[in-house]
Homo-oligomer: A and B are copies of this chain.
Amino acid sequence: MLLTVIYIIAITAEAMTGALSAGRRSMDWFGVTLIACVTALGGGSVRDVLLGHYPLTWVKHPEYLVLTCCAALFTIIIAKWMKHLHSIFLLLDALGLIGFTIIGCQIALQMGQGFVVSAVAGVLTGVSGGILRDILCNDVPLVFRRELYASISFVAVIFYWFCIDFGLSLEITVISTLVFGFSLRCIAIYFGLEMPKFIYKDDDDQSASSKDVS
Q: Which residues from chain A sit less than 8 Å from chain B, CB to CB?
A: 19-32, 34-35, 45, 49-52, 54-56, 58-59, 62, 65-66, 76, 79, 82-83, 113-114, 116-117, 120, 131, 135-145, 149-151, 154, 194-202, 205-206, 208-209, 212-213
Contact = CB atoms under 8 A, between A and B. Distances in A.
12 contacts: A24-B200, A26-B198, A27-B198, A28-B145, A28-B196, A30-B151, A31-B145, A32-B198, A52-B54, A79-B198, A139-B212, A142-B209
A136 to B, nearest CB: 6
A99 to B, nearest CB: 19
A23 B198 contact: yes
Contacts of A114: 62
Nearest to A142: B209
Given A28-B198, A29-B196, 13 more contacts: A19-B198, A20-B205, A22-B144, A27-B144, A27-B198, A28-B145, A28-B195, A31-B141, A35-B144, A65-B117, A83-B202, A136-B140, A139-B212
A20 B208 CA distance: 14
Contact of A49 (B49, B55, B62): B49
A28 B140 contact: no
| Pairs A-B, 5 closest by C-beta atoms | A31-B144, A23-B200, A62-B116, A52-B54, A28-B195
Given A22-B144, A34-B150, A56-B50, A116 B65 contact: yes
A90 to B, nearest CB: 12
A23 to B, nearest CB: 3
